[in-house]
A and B are shown apart, each in its own frame.
Chain A
Amino acid sequence: MTLVEISEMERHYVMASETVRALDGIDLSINKGERIILLGPSGSGKTTLLNCVAALDNPTAGDYSFDGESVPRNHAEKMTTFRRENIGYVFQFFNLLQDLTVLENILLIQELSGKRDKKRAIELLSLVGLEAEVNRFPAEISGGQQQRVAIARSLAKSPKLLLGDELTGNLDSATSSKVMEVLVKACDAEGITVIMVTHDESLAKYATRVVRLDSGKIISDEKVNN
């Protein structure tokens, strides 16, 4: 069942002397439950595609529908609502709120979405293996643990699609593996579709599909048999 349907998506940036075509006619269809990894060199358009999928950015042209509905564009509040209802996001640098405990970081997102559920927040922390750290502050736990909190946080409002931008880019390989295993486990458990941007080819083993981009175009789209 198709969750994301992108057709002829373009995103152009007008610079001083030229127009940069960051996305240049992307066609992409993603089914529910898939785990997609976007690979490609710097400037290939990975992050721009992720931003457009997250409704953080407005495509210059093309169509984008999510779960059968057209995704709003050029309307900040509607785009925010779309994100709130559908999208989870994990950053490279975790970006946890330092003033809040691990548990409170998750509760905050729930409160902002209007559905505080402490039991579920604790369940999510258990899912990422951090049930013992609920009352600790981000500064008191390791980078890998912080990223797992960030994953739990992004799952807190039960998104349909989880997006990750270089989410292991700031972690060593052992920690990266652990985080990815947690992510796969958690998303499988919650039935969440995942799109991750990375430079790291080794993460392909955690994906069901690898999409490669270059110069704003998809140059390969392969299913992975894990």
Chain B
Amino acid sequence: MLQLKKLTKTYKTGDQALKAIDLEVPKGQVLALIGPSGAGKSTMIRCINRLVEPSSGEVLLDGVDLARLGSGALRKARREMGMIFQEYALVERLTVMENVLSGRLGFVGFWRSFLRKYPQPDVDEAFRLLDRVGLLHMADKRADELSGGQRQRVGICRALIQNPKLLLVDEPTASLDPKTSRQIMRLITELCRERGLAAIINIHDVALAQMFVPRVVGLRFGEIVFDGPPTGLTSEKLTEIYGEEDWEATIEKVDDSDDIEAAE
């Protein structure tokens, strides 16, 4: 469904963030993108929905090359891709409900969105999603009154209300504590399964990635150095991605129990 062909990004400073990336993501597959800071994970995700303009190469979504779209067509294409951010990136001074509904901005006209008069199906869907992530009672709270985990749930709702084919997830757990991180990762992967969504989850916590996703792609200096199931992530492979370190402890954590969340 999503295909990257020779995707390259060179910043104005001359740094090559991505070096001719080739990647294919089939429908409904969730994959984790791991790699050290500065490996180009964030750049790659942003090149797909063109928050960052790729320098060359193709980004094919259902056969359409996103890299060549004009601004109107690009907006239509962006509706197909929901994005979840590291620091939640909620509009802090708007209510939770407005933040969720802002996911529909690509579908409604300016005045409708300005006057907050969204179509009833959108409002119902927003309520349903908030209920699904357990935040229905927070709908009229302002986003800056929420805790980190709650904010990220709102961020997930905002991405899902777009009814996308693909989720682009940029470090969803980087600002969360370990327990909340797992809950959020579980929520994202569950929702992807329910809706048959493909997702690229950019994550730096290897153990967390191994715990939840069937496919891992390792990035180092803008090149793919690993692509396979989490079980293939051996100590040598991790060393290749991240550099020399004792990886045994990280790998063993994979079969950690999940019963902490059972209490939720």
Co-complex (A, B): no
